Structure 1
Amino acid sequence: MKQHKIAFEQFSILSYLFRLTLLVIPVALTVGSLVALFLCLLDEATQFRFANPWMLFLLPLAGIFIYVLYKYLGKNSEAGNNLIIDEIHEPGGGVPARMAPLVLLTTVITHLFGGSAGREGTAVQIGGSLANLFARKLNLSREDTRTLLMTGIAAGFGAVFGTPVTGAIFALEVLALGRIQYDALMPCFMASVLADIVCGAWGIHHTAYHIHFAETGTTFFFHFDLFLLAKVILAGVAFGLAGMAFAETSHGIKKYSNRLIKTKWLIPVAGGLLIIGLTYALQTEDYLGLGVAGKNPGSVTIPSCFHAGGATYFSWFWKLLFTAITLGTGFKGGEVTPLFFIGAALGNTIALLSGAPVDLMAGLGFIGVFAGATNTPIACTLMGVELFGADHVLYYAVACFTAYYFSGHSGIYTAQRVGVAKVVDARRGGMRKK
């Protein structure tokens, strides 16, 4: 009897996975292709802006255009990633199909005119929008729709960064702080891997990052450098605080700009003028755009932060401010790539001040600030393995887990719920509920 029960259970699992595979394939193929198109357009926009620096002066007008698009065509697309997360928690309202083309277009516009933003938000919104469209066309149940939305997040994230394992775990971990539900693990993994393959098949090549530091000995009876580990823990605290500062600054700028500026189309105008003013005050364009590639050989970029002298002591702060202003005043794009920049630049500074290896500390900042700002330490640890190799996984985990705790209950995604508080008494202590 028991053997029959086990056989039936295995057959049910196989049937479930087969059905979900059929649902995941079209989502992953479409998302992978659209992410490839988006990355191509983003690169073209960046190169065009490098060649035409006067484009920056049109950033306020671009902001007005983005505002008008979302006001008259956006429906509820303005909520972005938070709408998708809310829909996963409580399916009902749906994610509009128009979100995908709108966010793709407006993110490219933001980068074309010099806004400081990322790309993950766009990829995730493309994934969620298309997943919801497929679910609606196929008349899927609420539970299947929820699962498909999670696969859309995984597909978008995995394809845009070339990190399929991270994409799958991120889609599960980002929903609720401190809790992961594994019911959609396999579908998310399939979607992320397939979308990444499709994106690569279109000729997309992701930026390669390298940590050349190699462990040379042990400390006392430990098989790792205990003093370096202590530096990593302290750096993790800084990464968590930086993640919290970014989230709170972005939310604060959005909140107070809407409160103080009554004519709403003037909000992106004010943001654009601030970006222009800061750019000329600092006399550098290094903090515009993604920050992956620089206009000049000596530009501060994410790759340059992996080398001594590749960033100034306050490069991380300026990128934080530029991005918070850009996104907080209504321009479109993601937060994650700027978080990579902030973290790598902060890691570079910490390494120079503490004597730690620059490339290792930049890599830890890269994933650590992201972990703190998104409350996804496991996904970020895996991202370190996928991007930098597994040699320093202990340091990845220490940096990400420490940053996760010290970022508090802040986060860039306001729809992210608190599954398990980071501190036992946090709820009784007045912790803000998401």
Structure 2
Amino acid sequence: MNKTFIATLLKWLLLGGLIGLIIGSTTAFLLTTNDWLGEVREQNSWLIYCLPLAGFVLGFMYMVLGTKSGNELYKGNNLVIEAVHGRHPMLKRLGPLVYFGTFLTVLFGGSTGREGAAIQMGGSVAQTVNTYFKVPNIDTKILLMSGISAGFGAAFGTPITGAVFGMEMTALGKMKYEALIPCMAASFIGHFVTENVWGVTHETFIIQAVPEHSIGAFVKVLLLAILFSLVSVFYCQLRHGIHTLSEKLTKKNHMIRALVGGLIIVLLTILVGSYDYNGRGLDMLEQSFKQDVPSFAFLAKLIFTAVTLGTGFVGGEAIPLFFIGATLGNTLYQFVDFPLSFLAGVGLIATFCGGANTPIAAFLLAVEMFDAKGIDYFFVICLTSFIFSGHHGLWPSQKIYEPKSRLLDIVPGETIKNAEQKKRNKKLRL
């Protein structure tokens, strides 16, 4: 091995490890604070009526940073993806701001998750490291991926998944394996710091039994994966549609957007007559692996989350997708002859995979989350969901380096947003 190789390896390990060390601590703070705020909200149900005011404050915070910067910051995870591709600089203030916004959303009952805040903080910390150590432009993208890996691995207690997710999240059909070492270092150290230094524990989802292997079982699994992938597409389209419409109607006044969104969530809560779909919904998510949940739970959570995030509140979408998929799997238990916990697990993984467009990371998530139970089923599930979800997803800024099918007329390097827009324009011309 030559000196250049050793020097580069040490650089990636040190910088990736530094990012993981910082993100492990900030993610521990995120998870602990979110848990506490969730308990406060559950003990004070009246806080939901303050959600519109919280949205107004959140919108003001983003807008006061400047019109151009405010619009950029509202891109959230998309801004991190664009920074990896060199289209826009990563804004270091995004991380602290999204943390505070997530706390507001969780405390007052918006439906959101956690990984968005962790990933965006990861990008902010990585950009700070890039600036402080004067990292060359060619390497800044790799450290930004490391920040994504650290945030995801620490947020869910899945370091292997986090290492791959940082490389896979930004683009379809291409992975930058050069980033493997720093992404792995950041994810594993971030996970270690979160759990072993700060003592944070993660939720556990246990699959009690797995169906015996048979052609019929695999056919059912394929059909289920297709169904869950289409549900993920429906969620993504609804969430992006609400986002676009709310910006158009309010002329990108984020204060009014979030205020109206908060009012809608309050009305939906009153209509449903339950607080189960506010906040993160972790209790019902865990319950879906053990016992029956309301048959409409998946649809309620889908709508609550699409409205919350589509109108300007912030947080993450992985936990809501977990919830949507797991509760739908729970509902299907009365129609499909599979173990309850297995159906919930299939829904959780397939819905997340279809929305995130990360089949390898989703498969590794199933392996880590379910202790490798049903590993062959989940491999098929992730590939199927990835293919049938088409070129849609949670993050419109994802680049399509290789189409999911050669039958689709998509130019390599196109973003999901542009591909969807061209598809709509083509339909209008027809």
Alignment of 1:25-424 (within 5 A): 25-73=17-65, 75=69, 76-90=72-86, 93-200=88-195, 201-215=197-211, 217=212, 224-262=213-251, 263-293=253-283, 301-309=284-292, 311-424=293-406
Q: Secondary structure at the match of 1:33?
A: helix
For the residues of structure 1 that align with 2:400 and 2:301, how far apart are their CA atoms?
28
For the residues of structure 2 that align with 1:206 and 1:29, how far apart are their CA atoms?
18
Offset at 1:66?
0.3
Query: Is contact 2:207–2:373 with CA below 8 Å preserved after alignment?
Result: no
* Residue of structure 2 equivalent to 1:221: none
Query: Is contact 1:231–1:356 with CA below 8 Å preserved after alignment?
Result: no
Query: Is contact 1:417–1:433 with CA below 8 Å preserved after alignment?
Result: no
User: How many residues are matched?
Assistant: 410
Query: Is contact 1:340–1:369 with CA below 8 Å preserved after alignment?
Result: yes
Offset at 1:264?
4.2
Query: Is contact 1:308–1:352 with CA below 8 Å preserved after alignment?
Result: no
For the residues of structure 2 that align with 1:324 and 1:94, how far apart are their CA atoms?
28
For the residues of structure 1 that align with 2:208 and 2:327, how far apart are their CA atoms?
17
For the residues of structure 1 that align with 2:264 and 2:373, how far apart are their CA atoms?
42
For the residues of structure 2 that align with 1:83 and 1:210, how far apart are their CA atoms?
35
Paired residue type of 1:95? M
* Residue of structure 1 equivalent to 2:427: none
Query: Is contact 1:116–1:287 with CA below 8 Å preserved after alignment?
Result: yes
Indicate the RMSD between aligned Cα atoms, in angstroms: 1.7
1:433 to 406, 416, 419: 419
18-27 or 234-243, which deviates more = 18-27
For the residues of structure 2 that align with 1:346 and 1:422, how far apart are their CA atoms?
26
Offset at 1:374?
0.8
Q: TM-score, normalised by structure 2?
A: 0.92
Offset at 1:25?
2.1
Paired residue type of 1:239? F
Q: TM-score, normalised by structure 1?
A: 0.91
Q: Which runs of 5+ in 2 are unaligned?
A: 421-430
Offset at 1:428?
5.6
For the residues of structure 1 that align with 2:410 and 2:326, how far apart are their CA atoms?
35
Q: Which runs of 5+ in 1 are unaligned?
A: 1-6, 218-223, 294-300
For the residues of structure 1 that align with 2:305 and 2:410, how far apart are their CA atoms?
33
For the residues of structure 1 that align with 2:127 and 2:83, how far apart are their CA atoms?
10
Offset at 1:399?
1.5
Offset from partner CA, 1:11-43 (integer Å, 9 cap, x none): 543322111112122211111100001111101
Offset from partner CA, 1:240-279 (integer Å, 9 cap, x none): 1011111111100000111123454221121111111111
Q: Secondary structure at the match of 1:90?
A: coil
Query: Is contact 2:254–2:312 with CA below 8 Å preserved after alignment?
Result: no
For the residues of structure 2 that align with 1:164 and 1:428, how far apart are their CA atoms?
33
| Same amino acid, percent of matched pairs | 39
Query: Is contact 1:235–1:350 with CA below 8 Å preserved after alignment?
Result: no
Offset at 1:315?
1.1
Offset from partner CA, 1:353-403 (integer Å, 9 cap, x none): 112211011001111100000100110010001010113111111111111
* Residue of structure 1 equivalent to 2:14: 22
Offset from partner CA, 1:152-183 (integer Å, 9 cap, x none): 00000000000001011111111111222211
Query: Is contact 1:348–1:362 with CA below 8 Å preserved after alignment?
Result: yes
Paired residue type of 1:368? A
363-372 or 17-26, which deviates more = 17-26
Query: Is contact 2:169–2:356 with CA below 8 Å preserved after alignment?
Result: yes
For the residues of structure 1 that align with 2:172 and 2:329, how far apart are their CA atoms?
25
